[in-house]
Amino acid sequence: MVAELKIGEALEFAYPGEHETALLVRLSEGEYKAYQNACTHLKCPVFWDKAEGELLCPCHHGVFDVRTGKPTAGPPRRPLPEIEIEVSQGVIYATG
């Protein structure tokens, strides 16, 4: 539910299969971003750093812009794959 995820918070969820994870971040009242939760360098999981407003990979200090998924520091050269989301009747759906 939309109301359960506060602005500035993140939620990990299974997508596209139950053994793969994605990360959803609520940026503002109506703005959400979702990405596959695997660094594009060596597939380590990424984490939301609320204080810095960035997605971080602890394995090799990769940093990604939360609005674009593009790398801003570290060894990653490719952006995080974005997951399309849709909000309908207070529920957030991953659509592709």
Q: Could you give all domains of the chain from N- to C-terminal order, each with its CATH number?
A: 2-94 (2.102.10.10)
pLDDT of residue 9: 97
Is residue 37 over pLDDT 80? yes
Query: Tell me, what DSSP letter sits at residue 81?
Result: P
pLDDT of 96: 83
Whole-number pLDDT of residue 44 = 96
Two tokens, residue 38: 């695997």
- The pTM assigned to this predicted structure is 0.92
pLDDT for the residue numbered 3: 78
Q: Which among 71, 45, 70, 80 is positioned nearest to 59, based on CA atoms?
A: 45
pLDDT tens column, 46-96: 999 999 999 999 999 999 999 999 999 999 999 999 999 999 998 999 998
What's the Cα-to-Cα distance from 73 to each of 42, 62, 65, rounded to whole Å?
Answer: 15, 6, 9
CB 66 within 8 Å of CB 32 = no
